[in-house]
Structure 1
Amino acid sequence: MKRAATVSAGPGSGRSPAELLGRLRARHHDADPVTHVERVPARAGEPAPWPTWAPQELRAALAGRGVVAPWRHQAEAAELAYAGRHVVVATGTASGKSLAYQLPALATLLADPRATVLYLAPTKALAADQLRAVAGLELDGVRPACYDGDTPRAEREWIRKHSRFVLTNPDMLHHGILPGHANWSGFLRRLTYVVIDECHTYRGVFGSHVAHVLRRLRRLSGSPGRPSSPALASSRKAPVFVLASATSGDPATAAGRLTGLPVAAVTEDTSPRGGVTFALWEPPLLPSDAATGEADLVQVRRSALRETADLLADTVAEGVRTLAFVRSRKGAEVVAANARRSLDEAVPGLGDRVAAYRAGYLREERRELERALLHGDLLGLASTNALELGVDLVGLDAVLMCGWPGTRASLWQQAGRAGRSGDEALAVLVARDDPLDTYLVHHPEALFGRPVEATVLDPANPYVLAPQLACAAAEAPLTPADLELFGEGAKEAVDSLVEAGALRQRPTGWYWRHRERPEVDLRGEGGAPVAVVEASTGRLLGTVDGGSSHFLIHAGAVYLHQGVSYVVDSLDLDDGCALVHAEEPDWSTHARDVTSLSVVSVRSYVDAGPVGMFLGEVDVTSQVVSYQRRRIASGEVIDTRPLDLPARELRTVAVWFTVSPQSLALAGVEAADIPGALHAAEHAAIGLLPLMATCDRWDIGGLSTALHPDTEAPTVFVYDGHPGGAGFAERAYGAAASWLRATRDAIAECGCESGCPSCVQSPKCGNGNNPLSKPDAVRVLDVVLANLPPATDADAPSGVVRAGPSSTPTDEPASTRAEQPAEAGLTPDDASGGPEPALPRQDDRTAARSTAHPAADAG
């Protein structure tokens, strides 16, 4: 595709977003890739007077930074916090949420020389950005400082003793501050405000862990009760929590679940907003001879990675400062590399103004990229969600999103990165060849004018609660009052820790018995990071989380770093090191796994005649056994090579439905077609679940079989890819009819004849999308929907029967239930976040991985 040969000198091209979109669309001569354009109108702001308690010094400092008066929602939240109320401000991107907590926090620090403030961000980049903002006010005595894994040890003691506004993240609070609370006693004793920024990111297992980290903080910083006096910090018995969130469903409830406190919500956004032109973009179909080398396979669409890379190159060539969000680290590298290549072909050297940004980079690389983007040295950046959050990226003109980001909250967060200075902006969602993406770009009503999702987390998850209680006991002996603080299930978890020998009960409480502290991974990333080292030089290139290492850096894998390609020579999991060498192969690598599942217990179920809908615990076993090498140019499979990696086991929560063979026969599904029908329905159900729950398909997995030994019936399972579950399966169970109705419609409305990636095929399928039957999948879902009671978004649909926690559908030993996927029609799929391969196709991770990635660049 030919690029423009010149670039404007300024930060933008001067064209309106509509004009820019028109130029991008005009490059596609055969068919218009845009399925819908939504115009989000501009909005005027509603200012409010300064609070009477805000000191003149603070007002003057803020005015010097361009803040002449707060918006009404900022003033309302600040008033609540200063009065001692816990508050969450849940408004749109670029609505100035930071001022809502800066006003009461900084006013108190200026009025009370002993007060301290703790700020928590999910990413280092966001904490660094907030440090720049607070330090830029130059207020005497505040002494703000970042305390995270990148902080030099020489500075840490000074921060502990002298900083009054400490910015950190939950990981450092968990691993460093709370275990060393004796060294932080002065700071914690005088703690006045705890600011939790971007709190909507704390969902699933990660959010459940953070909820208990906050309870541990409350325990060590004073009485857990809510302060009732609006006086200054010196008279408060406990810190006030101020939370900032993207627009979300029921933010007060979610914030209360996160903190364990009653929280008031401020949700009306009164800030001004520039208009946004939002386009839904579906890549064109590839010609049949270019899609694959096999004529009998269905057509596929052009890769979203390629399409996003071209759009990024086009916008940069137009002089438009653009941020492209890509789902995976590898995908971000691929988009940046292809955009650079296209730009250099048009104007040599222009590709240098595009880069990739992701977690796993060294600190110096990340900070330099942030600086280059802020100062305009870079015009284009392909990033993972590491830059999704509130980093102030003033001057961006356009945002590209390579694939549905998982939730409507993330969609608007990412789109809001552009136009933050009040200017008009362009946002483009580029659909992947995926059932959900295809559904959304053809059903814009599912995106626009709909409320965003509620945050899902479960602090009572025993796989989270017990380890967190162990951490708390290692910090200070637990007491009965502490058990009330940690909430439902705490007594049972403590009893289990005593029985396991981890705690010893004494009249004064429960004591940690071991010399070393408990090892608890907040983000569920499957172990310590693995270092990626260039074998010939010993140079550290970056890191990969332990849970991803089996898929991203196995022996023979292609690893990308800032556009440079490396091939992995060896992976040593014990030493946490992968050795690589630079190489530019013409193939990409794709790990393959096998999965088995057994039912442990049934929590509740719906008996709907020939259909059963269940919620319960399952055991999932997964092992990466091989990888494919595929030609980059064509996607042709070169060969499959075996791998010898250990199996991983996961106990989690699943939702599943069973259908009687007789009802399927009456619906016209032949016995021989049942495996393909269930498999196709499973693929589509996984893809559509994010419409009902605050998750994306990276968080969930699935498996289907024509006769599962535990259910003795044709069965489709969808499960959380996290130990103990993350709340997504429960949400699916509660909205089962709505979820499966959307799934059925997505399959039936797809224009293909026999199934394609837009409806029932999955690029991450453990069985290579075989067998699949699109028409029979519709028939299966028709049977289910005809019998299932209508569901609501409650915890369970009508007609639910609650089962005891230890009930099981069979007495058969679990060890006899596992079957290889190729046998008995067992068809596993993966889910919990993962690698996208090099072009032309995308890929995901395996379902049985017990990992989650809510935020990058943290810890």
Structure 2
Amino acid sequence: MTHDSPRPARPSPRDGRQPSAADPGTGRVPVAAPADLLRRLRARASTDPVTHVERVPARPGTTAPWPRWAPEELRAAFARRGVTAPWRHQAEAAELAYAGRHVVVATGTASGKSLAYQLPALATLLADPRATVLYLAPTKALAADQLRAVAALELEDVRPACYDGDTPRAEREWIRRHSRFVLTNPDMLHHGMLPGHAQWSGFLRRLTHVVVDECHTYRGVFGSHVAHVLRRLRRQCAKYGRPTRPDLPAGPTFVLASATSGDPATTAGRLTGLPVTAVTEDTSPRGGVTFALWEPPLLPAAEDQVVDLAPVRRSALRETADLLADTVAEGVRTLAFVRSRKGAEVVAASARRGLDEAVPGLGERVAAYRAGYLREERRELERALLRGDLLGLASTNALELGVDLVGLDAVLICGWPGTRASLWQQAGRAGRSGGEALAVLVARDDPLDTYLVHHPEALFGRPVEATVLDPANPYVLAPQLACAAAEAPLTPADLELFGEGAKEAVESLVEAGALRQRPTGWYWRHRERPQVDLRGSDGAPVCVVEASTGRLLGTVDGGSSHFLVHPGAVYLHQGVSYVVDSLDLADGCALVHAEEPDWSTHARDVISLSVASVRSYADAGPVGLFLGEVDVTSQVVSYQRRRIASGEVIDTRPLDLPTRELRTVAVWFTVSPESLALAGVQPADIPGALHAAEHAAIGLLPLMATCDRWDIGGLSTAVHPDTEAPTVFVYDGHPGGAGFAERAYRTAGAWLRATRDAIAECGCDTGCPSCVQSPKCGNGNNPLSKPDAIRVLDVVLANLPPAEGTSLPALPQQGDRGGAVPAGDVSAAGDRASGDRATGDVPAAGDVRAGG
């Protein structure tokens, strides 16, 4: 806890006083130092909301000479862009890549990772007029930013071009024939380039380098899919062959760029299937960062409020919106990261209202940015931010990655972003020009957020997480092998390329009738290609259309549609509210009309869960810890309308939407009724005790794995038919699992210890959103028993091994899953369960409930 004494309040949009005057020469208000700005922000509150301030000191940079092989033309081009010499880590990574060694450079935000791969790739293009380079980014915005950077070097005959879903068809043929530096994303590589590999044969034959940017984002099921897309790319490159320098191995050299992450070489190796060397020492200069942990205050109790009700904190969304308005009024260029699309819209709209109340028209300097906007809207928002026309932007993590947002002064992070890697990526958006920066993490009323703002040691001075992905996931492997067979018949050598479990997956595809085995290999039997979604969005996107005009407002993914655009749902777009009239899942269209209701909508569903198989277990006396496959069935059955001002439930309305089935991986623990009775948990209190422990365990698992609570689900029951004991399940919200439950099993002691501490240290008496209540609970957070949840976890921790991994049985090797590969439904890959469960918490494919 810091002890800065608050300063007198400065003008604020909320008190109607005039903000600071702008410099007439630049149009910008002089920006206060981060520490001064933070004190001003703190001063507006009656109680200090800051629980900790971390000072990340500035750091000088260390340069290295240009490599001898770097042509003078390229050095001069970088010099024109202000780069007179590379940082040492850039030169080290570039040397490895130019020598044909696969390399991952894993350094901090704004450390110049782009030059580390641009230097060897562009040098090769200049030396060999036939060579080509492929660049992969997880988002279109990042690819467009990199295109601007490469084009600005003005190198002759490189001809960089973006090839993605926004590329006009008239340009695509020119790119295939003439571009030597193609920038795209894994989705376009999967859906367009690899299926049309014959048209790309010339490009693939001459491919020397493949750049995989921001590779730490390829985690879970998405990362597992991308791993196989890269193997399919390697397979096609080997098929067409390419002329190589005598000193280089055959096939393209992979250069990966990542935020700092745990064990980047191993992760990059699993992603590419190749041995990868890691460069991790960051030698770039860094401006100082003042990083504050901010806990919104408790709301005053209403006069008629029942005394026993849990205290409620101010919404993190409202707190972030007010902070965004304050910083913009100060002339501070600010980016606010919000967990959800709807949340980004709410923050931007609220900040605009506050600013306009103070200075009419000032609200126009704030906007929202998220996926689902049309291409023209996204590009104009990016240009407006770079020009300085916008001072504040509320964005989803679409702007977390390496888009070069020069000149930002502050970053607001609304809610824990899921991983320490994402936290530092988002914080690093400010101060990119080397200046001092302010970063503020605004805690949601959530167990993990509350734990972190009161345990800063869990954030600062600790290594970031290792990225979790599982290429052996049969729900990923089988569909990807089907895609590969549709591109060219599979051979025994290909099975080795795709790794463990490939032989079993191919056999199951043959048995299901998807492949036919012949002496020359395995052939795809159908006319249509397999329909596989890399991002697990559960089918084609649903278009959101204004019924009266036919105007396309945006899109939502198929999995989210049940929650975001069900009939009666409130849908936000650029601050304008719409109400959904109808949802046609077959045609992928939701019709809406403009309306400003005083209520919000919250979808609810019900689930059932059964154990399919057990992979591993630990017998700890009265406690059992298990890892295995489970079958989850869910259906959205209703939605609540709640007053925006008070959160009061107006009514619950029924819905008729199809059921969904999910085979996934879960971790679960059982506790004997006798041990609970000895601990003081009465039989009637067992459901509430387990329910509260389940909520908190889901909330704290992201502390151990690269996931967030929307990636995982849970269920608790006093007696489950498959275990015949009180049981708490936590499972991955992706078919076949995503590696999160396995991580929970390995770290069960540490995970459940943090869960127990988060509940016990919360200041409430009976349970609140900061410890055991969940915004996703379909049971309305009833029953819950905070004291008994602590007793349950005490029993579990007293019997489980005390340290991570100690005495736990070894997990089976990847691919050894104790069950058949689900090859018959190749279109099911990426299907994702989601929603607010009536019997427990499960992941929401939509993200409208994330955040405050």
Q: Quick one: which amino acid aligns to residue 520 of structure 2?
A: T
Residue 411 of structure 1 aligns to a residue whose secondary structure is: helix
- Alpha carbons of 1:460 and 1:318: their partners in 2 closer, same or farther (altered >3 Å)? same
1:500-531 Cα shifts (integer Å, max 9, x gaps): 11111111111111111000000000110100
Aligned to 1:625: 637
Residue 531 of structure 1 aligns to a residue whose secondary structure is: strand
Q: In 1, are the aligned partners of 2:639 and 2:652 still within 8 Å (CA)?
A: yes
Q: In 1, are the aligned partners of 2:414 and 2:851 still within 8 Å (CA)?
A: no
1:296-321 Cα shifts (integer Å, max 9, x gaps): 42111000000000000000000000
Aligned to 1:814: none
Q: In 2, are the aligned partners of 1:82 and 1:230 still within 8 Å (CA)?
A: no
Aligned to 1:103: 119
Residue 322 of structure 2 aligns to a residue whose secondary structure is: helix
Q: In 2, are the aligned partners of 1:3 and 1:342 still within 8 Å (CA)?
A: no
Aligned to 1:559: 571
Aligned to 2:10: none
CA distance in 2, matches of 1:15, 1:806: 60
Matched, 1:639 2:612: no
Residue 158 of structure 1 aligns to a residue whose secondary structure is: helix
1:698-753 Cα shifts (integer Å, max 9, x gaps): 11011000000000000000000001000000000001001000100111111111
CA distance in 2, matches of 1:586, 1:173: 44
Aligned to 1:855: none
Aligned to 2:447: 435
TM superposition shift of 1:293 = 5.7
Residue 828 of structure 1 aligns to a residue whose secondary structure is: coil
Q: In 2, are the aligned partners of 1:353 and 1:380 still within 8 Å (CA)?
A: yes
Aligned to 1:354: 366
Q: In 2, are the aligned partners of 1:682 and 1:718 still within 8 Å (CA)?
A: yes
Aligned to 2:827: none
> Could you tell me which of 84, 95, 102 is aligned with 2:100?
84
CA distance in 2, matches of 1:483, 1:659: 43
> Could you tell me which of 261, 266, 283 is aligned with 2:274?
261
TM superposition shift of 1:789 = 1.1
TM superposition shift of 1:800 = 5.8
> Could you tell me which of 21, 24, 37 is aligned with 2:41?
24
Residue 221 of structure 1 aligns to a residue whose secondary structure is: helix
Matched, 1:836 2:852: no
Q: Quick one: which amino acid aligns to residue 612 of structure 1?
A: G
Q: Aligned pair count?
A: 817
CA distance in 2, matches of 1:614, 1:226: 49
Structure 1 residues 444-843: aligned runs within 5 Å: 444-792=456-804, 797-798=807-808, 805-806=817-818, 827-836=839-848
CA distance in 2, matches of 1:665, 1:491: 50
- Alpha carbons of 1:806 and 1:186: their partners in 2 closer, same or farther (altered >3 Å)? closer
Residue 427 of structure 1 aligns to a residue whose secondary structure is: strand
CA distance in 2, matches of 1:520, 1:802: 27
Matched, 1:131 2:147: yes
Q: In 2, are the aligned partners of 1:553 and 1:578 still within 8 Å (CA)?
A: yes
Aligned to 2:431: 419
- Alpha carbons of 1:832 and 1:252: their partners in 2 closer, same or farther (altered >3 Å)? farther
CA distance in 2, matches of 1:141, 1:194: 19
Structure 1 residues 8-19: aligned runs within 5 Å: 8-9=22-23, 10=26, 11=28, 13-19=30-36
1:312-331 Cα shifts (integer Å, max 9, x gaps): 00000000000000000000
Q: Quick one: which amino acid aligns to residue 693 of structure 2?
A: A
Q: Quick one: which amino acid aligns to residue 14 of structure 1?
A: V
Aligned to 1:49: 65
Aligned to 1:200: 216
Residue 211 of structure 2 aligns to a residue whose secondary structure is: strand
Q: In 1, are the aligned partners of 2:89 and 2:279 still within 8 Å (CA)?
A: yes
CA distance in 2, matches of 1:364, 1:229: 43
CA distance in 2, matches of 1:660, 1:580: 51
Q: Quick one: which amino acid aligns to residue 314 of structure 1?
A: D
CA-atom RMSD, angstroms? 1.9
- Alpha carbons of 1:56 and 1:557: their partners in 2 closer, same or farther (altered >3 Å)? same
1:642-673 Cα shifts (integer Å, max 9, x gaps): 11111111110000000000000000000000
TM superposition shift of 1:69 = 0.4
> Could you tell me which of 272, 277, 301 is aligned with 2:290?
277
Residue 698 of structure 1 aligns to a residue whose secondary structure is: helix
- Alpha carbons of 1:154 and 1:739: their partners in 2 closer, same or farther (altered >3 Å)? same
Q: Quick one: which amino acid aligns to residue 543 of structure 1?
A: T
Q: In 1, are the aligned partners of 2:244 and 2:250 still within 8 Å (CA)?
A: no
Q: In 1, are the aligned partners of 2:335 and 2:411 still within 8 Å (CA)?
A: yes
CA distance in 2, matches of 1:512, 1:649: 26
Residue 468 of structure 1 aligns to a residue whose secondary structure is: helix
Aligned to 1:180: 196
TM superposition shift of 1:224 = 11
CA distance in 2, matches of 1:3, 1:207: 49
**TM-score, normalized by length of structure 2?**
0.94
Matched, 1:286 2:296: no
CA distance in 2, matches of 1:524, 1:800: 29
Q: In 1, are the aligned partners of 2:205 and 2:241 still within 8 Å (CA)?
A: no
Q: Which shows bigger deviation, 253-262 or 629-638?
A: 629-638
CA distance in 2, matches of 1:224, 1:451: 42
1:518-567 Cα shifts (integer Å, max 9, x gaps): 00000000110100000000000000111000000111111000011111
CA distance in 1, matches of 2:188, 2:175: 14
Structure 1 residues 225-374: aligned runs within 5 Å: 231=247, 237-289=250-302, 294-374=306-386
**TM-score, normalized by length of structure 1?**
0.93
Q: Quick one: which amino acid aligns to residue 212 of structure 1?
A: H
- Alpha carbons of 1:17 and 1:79: their partners in 2 closer, same or farther (altered >3 Å)? same
- Please list every run of 5 or more consecutive structure 2 residues that lacks an aligned counterpart in the other structure: 1-13, 821-836
Matched, 1:398 2:415: no
Residue 614 of structure 1 aligns to a residue whose secondary structure is: strand
Residue 289 of structure 1 aligns to a residue whose secondary structure is: coil
Matched, 1:215 2:227: no
Aligned to 1:818: none
CA distance in 2, matches of 1:217, 1:198: 18
- Please list every run of 5 or more consecutive structure 1 residues that lacks an aligned counterpart in the other structure: 809-824, 844-859
CA distance in 1, matches of 2:812, 2:257: 37
Residue 15 of structure 2 aligns to a residue whose secondary structure is: coil
Q: In 2, are the aligned partners of 1:734 and 1:797 still within 8 Å (CA)?
A: no
Q: In 1, are the aligned partners of 2:561 and 2:846 still within 8 Å (CA)?
A: no
Residue 266 of structure 2 aligns to a residue whose secondary structure is: helix
Q: In 1, are the aligned partners of 2:205 and 2:240 still within 8 Å (CA)?
A: no
Q: In 2, are the aligned partners of 1:431 and 1:441 still within 8 Å (CA)?
A: yes
- Alpha carbons of 1:530 and 1:653: their partners in 2 closer, same or farther (altered >3 Å)? same
1:608-634 Cα shifts (integer Å, max 9, x gaps): 000000000001111111111111111
CA distance in 2, matches of 1:226, 1:644: 55
CA distance in 2, matches of 1:667, 1:630: 39
Matched, 1:65 2:81: yes
Matched, 1:143 2:159: yes
